Structure 1
Amino acid sequence: MELGSNSDDSKSTFCLVNEDHTFANSIRYTLNQDPRVTYCGYSIPHPSFIRVNIRLQTTGDPAKEVFKDGCLELMLMCRHVRSTFDDALTEFKKTKTS
């Protein structure tokens, strides 16, 4: 769900259900690396709710598009980490069987 101003699409709050600090902090970090982002932060309204609010403000680009790009970038980073780990594990197993 996206909450924001109808007149300014460069500022939005995204409410994500079934997410916690793991995703929220990762996407916050990724978005803050984007030069189009002027502010990105997150909050968890209450510990008993499995929900996170991510506030995003951009230099003028639509916040929805920047958020989507940030999610794609985070996905690519996760794939790279997974691939690097799998390669290292394969190499480790080869040295143990030799």
Structure 2
Amino acid sequence: MPATLPESTYELRTVDSTATIPLLSVVPVPGLHVFELPEYLREEGDGVANSWWLGHRSGLALAALPSQDDALRGAREIAGLTDWTGGAGDIRTDPSFDGTTTPTP
């Protein structure tokens, strides 16, 4: 992995998908973004402890993790599961994609 990852603006979708929240992110794998959730969006408990998020380019969040390193590692671990540059609908309907399988290194 390069020492400096490309930065991008990530458009996090709101729960009802009627709006997006622009956030600065890094792109460790094409189609996947890692960003820190702003404090004003964090919820009590798990949301505070897991402030680093891994998201798909569509604006959908995939995981909340405790550190940037964990989120970057998560992106690398799932990189080979599918073509993350595709749309979320394309990934959902791809018969070869099994989101329940743990990737092997």
Q: Same fold (TM over 0.5)?
A: no
Larger relative contact order (C-alpha < 8 A, sep ≥ 6)?
1
TM-score (norm 2): 0.25
Structure label with greater radius of gyration: 1
From the two aligned structures, give the one with the greater helix fraction.
1
From the two aligned structures, give the one with the greater strand fraction.
2
